[in-house]
């Protein structure tokens, strides 16, 4: 993905291939894949002139995402996170003994993703799964409130403003989101009963993608819930 700078403002470009018209740009690069192969995003400025026949950005290092340093360790505690319904402080520590599926909405949780979160909640909540959605502090609160009757899972709002993700040049909206290093709205974080981050995976909104792992963590048999099996 790249953005063009015009009059000090950046605008995302839809073109995937050159030639690019002369101007100042930012290229945003990251890696995604299976098992998982997610990396931190790197934003690199570059300039295109009429005399630029080819573009060489050099060797670019894509480091592991911030959340990878917590893999198998205690997940970061929530900071300044408040329950949307009653504005009370919400702590991850209070969910010890439960498996937590944590989703940062980034203010744009799509209907199909909401449906997926509901399916996970409905299938596994009684077995000990807590689905938590954290919205950024600058989210449209009226839109969140409008969706509350249809959302059986916990919803909360992050605290703080634009916060630097440690070890990067990226800023995200919300101090807890920055602590986890969240960088897209598809990533879901799975935290075990002891509060350890088991995995952070993308494309968990595909029905059944996390079923085997969740059932194992919850002490359920791999068969029997009928989740995502059309039963």
Asked whether residue 65 carries a pLDDT value surpassing 80, the answer given is: no
* Angle formed at CA 67 by CA 61 and CA 69, multiple of 5 degrees: 80
Give the whole-angstrom CA distance, residue 114 versus residue 116.
Answer: 5
Residues 158-197 have pLDDT tens digits of 998 888 888 777 788 899 998 888 877 667 888 999 999 8
DSSP single-letter state for residue 225: S
| Statement: the pTM of the whole predicted model exceeds 0.75 | no
Residues facing residue 44 across a β-bridge: 27
**Beta pairing class for 154-157 and 129-135:** parallel
- pLDDT value at position 230? 29
- Element spanning 165, H or E: none
The residue written with tokens 């995604």 in the block is 32
Give all domains of the chain, ordered by start, each with its CATH number. 2-48 (no CATH), 66-217 (3.40.30.10)
Give the whole-angstrom CA distance, residue 127 versus residue 149.
Answer: 23
Could you tell me the two tokens for 164?
Answer: 């630097």
């Amino acid at each position: 993905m790249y953005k063009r700078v015009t009059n000090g403002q950046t605008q995302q470009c839809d073109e995937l291939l050159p030639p690019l018209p002369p101007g100042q740009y930012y290229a945003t690069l990251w890696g995604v894949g299976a098992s998982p192969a997610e990396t931190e995003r790197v934003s690199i400025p570059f300039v295109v002139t009429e005399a630029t026949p080819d573009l060489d950005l050099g060797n670019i290092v894509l480091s592991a995402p911030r959340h990878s340093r917590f893999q198998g360790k205690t997940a970061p505690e929530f900071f300044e996170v408040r329950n949307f319904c009653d504005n009370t402080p919400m702590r991850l520590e209070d969910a010890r003994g439960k498996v937590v599926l944590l989703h940062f909405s980034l203010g744009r949780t799509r209907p199909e993703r909401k449906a997926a979160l509901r399916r996970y909640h409905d299938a596994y909540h009684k077995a000990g799964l807590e689905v938590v959605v954290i919205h950024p502090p600058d989210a449209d609160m009226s839109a969140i409130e409008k969706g509350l009757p249809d959302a059986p899972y916990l919803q909360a709002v992050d605290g703080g403003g634009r916060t630097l993700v440690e070890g990067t040049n990226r800023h995200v909206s919300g101090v807890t989101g920055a602590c986890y290093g969240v960088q897209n709205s598809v990533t879901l974080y799975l935290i075990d009963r002891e509060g350890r981050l088991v995995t952070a995976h993308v494309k968990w909104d595909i029905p059944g993608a996390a079923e085997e792992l969740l059932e194992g963590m919850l002490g359920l048999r791999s068969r029997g819930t009928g989740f995502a099996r059309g039963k």
